């Protein structure tokens, strides 16, 4: 990186082990893409609660040629983020996915679709917030609740017709921007 890592902690004391963990995650991003010019990480414990743990927020800003990649893990009430290490891991996973998408676009690996694909929802995992779409040619495409555009996840049902954009994820094809038709 051209600019050293900027790391700050808000509303709690920094810990050398946590700082080391964050530096390791940043190093892994740099191994994947060596043209990151700057990185800022802010770790915050925004709510000082007495009965329950803090919900940590992790914000990451990566400066790369021609753009910035921003991760703002303001997670609301995601209880998993009472664990600082889980909040950090999730934020860096998101940063890596966005960096992978950026690199694919640079290389021209991103497919451009004239029309979105269509399919039908065949399976849902309500507890984990994801499901699968079957395409007209019989393929199964993963989608996450965050990909839904037109309806909240709790209103999605098996059998619904959908229109979606397909991309390649870490574990195969996945749908982004899923529109349900009923």
- Assign residue 128 the CATH number of its domain: 2.40.50.140
Is residue 69 a part of any domain in this protein? yes
Give pLDDT, residue 79: 66
Secondary structure of the chain: what % helix, strand, coil (to 5)?
30, 35, 35
Is residue 1 a part of any domain in this protein? no
Do residues 78 and 103 both lie within one domain?
A: yes
Pick from 137, 131, 128, 138: nearest CA to 175: 131
- Locus of tokens 């992790």: 58
Give pLDDT, residue 75: 47
Domain total of the chain: 2
Pick from 4, 24, 15: nearest CA to 45: 15
Task: Sort strands 130-135 and 140-144 into parallel, antiparallel or unpaired.
Answer: antiparallel
CA distances from 60 to 25, 27, 66, 94 (A): 11, 14, 17, 10
pTM attached to this predicted model:
0.57
Give pLDDT, residue 136: 80
Do residues 87 and 158 both lie within one domain?
A: no
Three-class secondary structure of residue 31 per DSSP = helix
CA separation for the pair 116, 178 (Å, rounded)? 9
Three-class secondary structure of residue 20 per DSSP = helix
Do residues 11 and 58 both lie within one domain?
A: yes
Residues linked to residue 38 through DSSP beta bridges, in sequence order: 63
Three-class secondary structure of residue 91 per DSSP = helix
Do residues 101 and 24 both lie within one domain?
A: yes
Do residues 136 and 158 both lie within one domain?
A: yes
CA separation for the pair 36, 30 (Å, rounded)? 7
Task: Quote the domain boundaries for residue 132.
Answer: 117-180
pLDDT, averaged per 10 consecutive residues of the chain (182 residues), comes to: 91 91 96 94 75 77 91 62 87 92 82 71 92 88 89 91 85 85 69
């Amino acid at each position: 990186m051209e600019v050293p890592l900027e790391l700050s902690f808000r509303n709690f004391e920094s810990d050398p082990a946590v700082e080391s963990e964050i530096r390791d995650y940043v190093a892994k991003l740099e191994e994947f893409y060596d043209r990151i010019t700057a990185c800022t990480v802010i770790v915050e414990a925004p709510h000082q609660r007495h009965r329950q743990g803090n919900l940590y927020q992790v914000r990451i800003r990566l400066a790369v040629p021609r753009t910035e990649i921003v991760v703002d893990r303001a997670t609301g009430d995601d209880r998993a983020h009472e664990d600082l290490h889980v909040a950090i891991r999730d934020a860096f996973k998101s940063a890596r996915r966005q960096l992978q998408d950026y690199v694919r676009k640079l290389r021209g690996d991103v497919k451009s679709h004239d029309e979105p694909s269509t399919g039908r929802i065949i399976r849902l995992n309500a507890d984990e917030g994801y499901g699968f779409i079957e395409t007209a040619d019989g393929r199964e495409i993963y989608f996450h609740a965050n990909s839904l555009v037109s309806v909240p996840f709790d209103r999605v049902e098996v059998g619904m017709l959908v229109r979606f954009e397909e991309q390649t994820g870490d574990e195969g094809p996945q749908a982004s921007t899923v529109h349900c038709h009923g």
